[in-house]
Every structure is written in C-alpha cells, then in structure tokens.
Structure 1
Amino acid sequence: MKILHIANFAFNKLGERYYSIDRKISAGLIENGHFVYDYSFRDMARMGTIFKTKKLGSGVANNEVLKIVENLCPELVLIGHSDLLKKETLQTIRKNYPSIKIGFWFVDWLCEQSKANFIREFAPYVDAIFCTTGGRLLTQFKLPNNKIGYIPNIAQKSIEELQQFNKDFFLRDFIFFGTVYKDPDREVFLTHLVQSLGENFHCFGAFDNKAVYGHK
C-alpha cells in the first residue's frame, strides 16, 4: 500500500526522540513492503507561520494534508497523536476519496478527558482506532462505522537493540522514564514504588529528577 502517516515525528527535537512510536510504526510498515510518506504535523504547523507556533499554523498544516492526499493517492491514511488535525479535514478526505481507509493510533493513557475528547471527534471518520489503553476507556470510541483494538507499546528491533536479559549485573534494578504532571494516580503509584524499593528504584523526569532523552 501507499500510506500517508500523519504523526508527531518531532523534527524540532533534533534526534532526542528518535525512538518514538511513530517512527517505529513507519519502519515496521516499510519492512513489510509498504511505501510510507511521513508527515510531521506539529513541525509543519510551526513552519506555517512566521511566529513558529503550532496552533497558529494548524490551518496551513491541515491544507497541506489535503494536498498530499491529492498528490499521493494513498490507500491508507494513518494518524497518530495529531490533536490539531481538524475533523473537517477527515470529512473532506472521506467525501472526495471514499476508497481511502483511515486509521488512528494513540499510545498515551486515556485518563485525561482532553485526550479522549479529540479521539471521540475523530471516531466517526476513521475505519479503525488502536490504543495502548483497553477496557471501557477504549470502548467509548466504538461506533457502527469503525473497529477498535488494543495494541501493546511497540518495540522495533533496530531501535531496542540492547539485550539486557543477557546481563548478570545491573547498576539499577528498576527504572521509570516519564512525568507525573496532571496525573495523581501515577504519582501515588510511583510514590509507593519509591518507598518500597528505595535505592533500587530510579525515576527520570519525575519527583524533581532530571529527564533524559536520546541516546542517554
């Protein structure tokens, strides 16, 4: 297939997010014989105005998506974490190119209402929704016109190349990379781990500990 993959490829991060899920998905699709055209929505939105802000440039990026669909004629439009993509853009693709399939993936926990809201807006216009959250938080997006499915967090052999399971000695027993911002349940859980595991547990990005990205 020819696939248009609209996601957040984070070109502006200069390689520190090279292991992101969007890149893994594109790499896997290419390995399976498909052509993938990556469109980094937030980056292109920032480039759309002299102010370099993604919200102001979102209209430009939405118009570019329609132009790419016209030029590329993809069999599949795959969308991930593009909250500034407008439902009207999907409506136009549906109307003008009824044979194109549209899929949507999401890899953050769906506890925040704001995250669920924009997925709910997309739901009537996509053929399939894939999330790393299951249960009732996923089934809320099920409509007669779409399919929904749980997916695990994806690993890609060219990125996750370390083989820690072959080691006999470890500097750290358990690590966490991420934040607790606006997530009280996660903060309570991590606090419990810190108290239980002590020096055997290391956080990066939470509890005033500096985050690490890229090769580090």
Structure 2
Amino acid sequence: MRWARPGGCCGTRSSAAPVIGASARRRRGMPALRSWLWRRSGNGCGPNTWCHEEGSPAMIRVLHVGDLGLKQYGALPNTFERKIFYGLLRNEYCAWEFSDKDVAKFEAPLGISRLGIRAVNRRLMQTVDNFRPDLVLFSNSRKIPNETIERIRERFSDVRIGCYTCDPLFSEDNRAHQEQRVKVADALFVTMAGPLLESLAGRRARIHYIPNPCDPSVECLDNFAREDLPIDLLFCGTGSGAEARTRFIASLKEALGDVRFEVHGILGQPRIRGREYFEVLGRTRMALNLNKQEAPLYSSDRISQLMGNGILCFIHRDSGLERFFPDGERACFFSDREELIERVRALARDDALRRRIACQGTAWYREHFSARRVARFMVEATLGLPFSEPYAWPTEAFSSA
C-alpha cells in the first residue's frame, strides 16, 4: 500500500488512510484503467495522478525503456532518453528505468550484446510483472520486438504503450522501425513534423510531434552572461568527407579565417564526449545547428545542448524552426552560405547583441521545451488525458480516426 499526502498525491506517509495501488485495484475487480477519470481539480488529485471515479488518487506508474548508456560509464550523460527519464521524475510520476542495451550486454555470454536478445526480452517481461506500470514508454529500443510488446498487452490489458524517436524519419532505417512500432503502440512521438510524420498515421498509434527537451541537471551553463569565451563559433557532429554537410563546414572554415571556429567529429578532428564535450560548450559563444538534412521542425538533439546552455544558435531556415525562435530574437537563421558568413562575422563583432539573443533564446527554450513539459505531454497524450496546459509546439495527433 501507498500513503496519501495531505494534498492527495501518493508516496509520502501521512495521517490519511492508505491508498490502494493500481495493481491491487485490479486484483479486487475494480474498473480497468480506461474507465478511470482524469480530474485536474477537486478530490485532491494533481496532474501526476489518476483518479478513480470515487476520487481516490493513484500515482501514474511509468516504465521507461531505452538506452540509458550505463555501459558508457558517464561518457554520454546528455542523451535524449536520459532527459526524458529526468522529466518523468520532475513530474513526480512513479518512474522506473529499463536500459535495454545495457541489460542485453550484462545478461549475454561474454558480454556480447547480440547474444543477449532473448534474455533482455525475458527481463523486460519480468520488470513489467514486478513494477506493474500504467504506461510503458519505449525509445527506439531495437532489441525489443513488437512481439514482446504484444505479450505485455496480452498479460496486462490495462497497460498503455508509448514510443518515441529523436532520429529523423528521412532515415530509411528509422522510418521502417517506426512503421512497425505504430502497429502496437497507443502513441508515437517524433522530433520531426511534415508529410513523413503524417504518413505514419492510419494504424493503431496516434502520431505526435515533440521538441528536443532540455533539463537543468544537464543544460546548466549560462554562456549568454559571459564575455570571456574563447570560441566564437562551434560545430560538433559526425560524417564523411563526401557528405554535403561536411563539405559545407569545410568551406565555412576556410572563409571564416578571421573567426575562432572550432570543429569536432569531422574534418579529421576526433569526436568529443563526456566532460570534454561539456568543457568545450563552456567556452563557446555561438554554434551551428546544422543537420545532415533539413526537414519540417526537425533538429537533432544538438539544439537543446546549445540553446539550453546559453549558446547562440545559427539554424537553417528550411527547418521551419523560426516558428519557435523568431529570427534575431531567440536565434539566427540563414538561407545560404553567404548569409551565414555575414551574420557570423557581424555577431562576432557585436558581443552585446550576441548575448541578448542567446539570453532570450535560452530563457524561452528552458521554459517551454523543458524535459518536464515534454515528458508530461507524452504521458498525457499516450493515456488520452486532457492536456494540462497549452504546449508551445503543435499538439494535434495524426491517426486513422
């Protein structure tokens, strides 16, 4: 049993009567999850609780399945999956994590991940059985096939399934994976809008757009407040010399010889991770948020790591992200190489303007694209709850209905 707080949320013991958990309710034959009512006010029920029609609250239980990078030993502390999990906790959901790639490696003979596929699926079923979530939220989780998700549904009919990806749908491999996930999920969330997102509709899942989240435990720099930063312009990414983006960066570096421009991960420079990456961000005034391919409202999670840390971003207009970041107010946009070069040089000379734009962009990003808000939206959308606030991004769902 769990104990009700004076305000009605579960988890802290008080003089109130104990609240029976969701699994206990099912055992006693009470209505299934779909018959519960969401109440945002009255009866002491807050935005992190389900309320039974009689008014007794029960904290929403979320099992988050994704690559949490334990085997990286701290080299990737800023991943999309980790920030979503932090967002679940900040909403005070009862959240548990299951890192599929790590479990596969740890359970496999000789630590060979591909030999741990059967074991990781068995352990996931064991975790669901022990934790009894209301919602299972999957990232890409390639080691978990649809068949396992269907077994979860068969065994626990009340559970809801959400899936998300921060990879672009113009990647054929990722699009094929999501086309399979929409057959078994209740909701799918993608960091990209447009026709490719809408094309996933028509099967079981409702399709939603989400932005890249930031979290104060990860994005904690205020570079807009500093004048002593030695790097004028930064780009971190990967790619071969044959890719258009790599060639574009090479031509920029040649043209901007008068600007302190650092590049990592391409042009013969090694990729940086962990503390080294964080320290480079801490020395940076401005950065390029340049994707391998631009698409509606799409960016890699690089944008949250830059704007969330007070770094002024240069973004291509083809992304459509001016919808969120008006040009010259929260970020700087460009259409071609010549315009980008001109704007970089102008802002390298005008540090007061650089700081003002970066400050406004960071404040807006942290407020509206926080992991807390993104995670809450995902939970509400998957469970079919009324949205608790007017979110700053498009919230309409694409579905077969």
With normalisation by structure 1, the TM-score equals 0.91
* Match of residue 162, structure 2, among 95, 103, 109: 103
Greater Cα radius of gyration, structure 1 or 2: 2
Structure 2 residue 204 is matched with structure 1 residue 145? yes
Judge conservation of contact 1:4–1:38 (CA < 8 Å) in 2: yes
Which amino acid is 1:5 matched to? H
Structure 2 residue 265 is matched with structure 1 residue 205? yes
Judge conservation of contact 1:138–1:148 (CA < 8 Å) in 2: yes
Quick one: distance in 2 between partners of 1:25 and 1:116?
21
Quick one: distance in 1 between partners of 2:188 and 2:157?
18
Task: For residue 47 of structure 1, give the secondary structure of its aligned residue in structure 2.
Answer: helix
1:146-201 Cα offsets, whole Å, 9 max, x none, are: 22122221110111110011122431222222211599343344345434444543
Which amino acid is 1:41 matched to? D
Quick one: distance in 2 between partners of 1:25 and 1:114?
23
Residue 76 (structure 2) aligns with: 17
Judge conservation of contact 2:241–2:247 (CA < 8 Å) in 1: no
1:56-108 Cα offsets, whole Å, 9 max, x none, are: 21111011111111111101101112112111001111222222111111112
* Match of residue 214, structure 1, among 274, 282, 292: 274
Quick one: distance in 1 between partners of 2:94 and 2:202?
29
Structure 2 residue 229 is matched with structure 1 residue 170? yes
Quick one: distance in 2 between partners of 1:140 and 1:195?
40
The verdict on how the C-alpha distance between 1:214 and 1:171 changes in structure 2, with shifts beyond 3 A counting, is same
1:104-134 Cα offsets, whole Å, 9 max, x none, are: 1111223221121112111111111111122
Structure 2: which 5+ runs fail to align?
Answer: 1-59, 277-401
Which amino acid is 2:268 matched to? D
Residue 194 (structure 2) aligns with: 135
* Match of residue 127, structure 2, among 68, 80, 86: 68
Judge conservation of contact 2:190–2:208 (CA < 8 Å) in 1: yes
Count of residue pairs brought into register by the alignment? 216
With normalisation by structure 2, the TM-score equals 0.51
Quick one: distance in 2 between partners of 1:185 and 1:116?
22
Q: CA RMSD of the aligned region, Å?
A: 2.0
Which amino acid is 2:141 matched to? S
Quick one: distance in 1 between partners of 2:242 and 2:188?
24
Residue 99 (structure 2) aligns with: 40
Residue 178 (structure 2) aligns with: 119
Judge conservation of contact 1:123–1:146 (CA < 8 Å) in 2: yes
Residue 148 (structure 2) aligns with: 89
How far apart are 1:39 and its partner, in Å?
Answer: 0.7
Quick one: distance in 1 between partners of 2:132 and 2:173?
32
Quick one: distance in 2 between partners of 1:37 and 1:162?
28
Quick one: distance in 1 between partners of 2:118 and 2:199?
28
How far apart are 1:29 and its partner, in Å?
Answer: 1.0
Residue 78 (structure 1) aligns with: 137
Which amino acid is 1:143 matched to? G
